[in-house]
Amino acid sequence: MILKSFEIKKINQTINNLILFYGKNEGLKNEALNTLVEEGDNTSNYEEKEILDNENNFIENILSKSLFEPQRFIVIKRATDKILKIIETLQQKKLEDVTIILNSDNLEKRSKLRSLFEKDKKLICVPFYPDNDQTLSKLAYNFLKDKKISISPSNINLIVNKCSGDRETLINELQKIEYFSKNGKKINSENISKLINLNENHSISELIDNCLAKNKKKIISILNENNFSNEDCIIITRSFIVKAKKLLALSKTFETNNNIDFTISSAKPPIFWKEKEITKQQIYKWKPEYIKKLIYSLSEIELQIKKNINNSINVITDFILSQSLSETNS
């Protein structure tokens, strides 16, 4: 059965416990996943290859159930037609308190996996088509309206155009504007241009990348050479969280396959060639459990900055130094 991406909440996971997401809109897929799977839920992530190599163990794990175990969520990344037989096997079984979500790239119409999910009324198939300027403008308008932030249509277009069709980038930019407005700053074309251009501030990107890679000397050099403002600290914190979440996904993949080149090449969206080497350093330095703690700490710092932006420079500088100077977390 085919559902639109905005109909996710209609899914009854008691009946529809096999779900297929496919398409290249990673930002929208992540939103849908977060709708179905809340933070703290009992979730396991698998690569398709990992399941194909351990088919019997995987099926046995799915069918086994502890009496007091909560609802389980199984997310299978990069699923293709190769996993079709396993899905057909699970269809014949009684699946209790488990939801299996297949997260696929673009599946052609001739895909047998896609066809199975589209035609069976007990299965859910959700395509995620690329965003266009119209859908992103609507997203921006609704976000700003919900936050009671008044911005002209021309400035909304300015923000959307800056994001090059990427939904996750747009959300990040809108959140910057939200935090900026909460501190009593006037939202005009000049301030918007300044805020969204900070996304291109290579010093901020370098700061975060080198902190995660624990390049101590480089971190100190960047901090000494740049006069970051209080507003910059909001962007640094948000950008740090986004980067840490991407690193978490990479770290989980690496933990599964122990192949650094495969981990880098399979990243979605692709890692820019200039960033591959430092990303490898970060993966080697951080294990998933430590990245989760990092994200939690960053969220706490974000709240702290919101409460007192005037002290944000000291807060973010102390945090970055503590992370870059600490012992490896691997």
- Report the CATH number at residue 146: 1.10.8
pLDDT number for residue 118:
95
**Given 152, 169, 198, which residue is the final one in a domain?**
198
Same domain, 58 and 151: no
pLDDT band of 210, cuts 50, 70, 90: very high
Quick: pLDDT tens for 38-63.
766 788 888 898 899 999 999 988 88
pLDDT number for residue 137:
93
Provide the b/e sequence for 310-329 (b: ≥16 CB within 10 Å).
eebbebbeebbeebbeeeee
pLDDT band of 185, cuts 50, 70, 90: low
pLDDT number for residue 244:
92
pLDDT number for residue 194:
67
Show the domain range for 254: 201-325
Quick: pLDDT tens for 83-113.
999 999 999 988 888 899 999 988 999 999 9
Quote the tokens at residue 133: 């300027």
**Given 172, 198, 224, which residue is the final one in a domain?**
198
Has residue 245 got a pLDDT over 80? yes
pLDDT number for residue 105:
86
User: How high does pLDDT run on average in the chain?
Assistant: 86
- Report the CATH number at residue 274: 1.20.272.10
Alpha helices in 99-152 (DSSP H): 112-119, 133-146
Has residue 199 got a pLDDT over 60? no
Domain count, the chain: 3
Longest CA–CA separation in the chain, Å = 63
Quick: pLDDT tens for 152-172.
888 888 888 877 778 877 887
DSSP annotation of 286 reads -
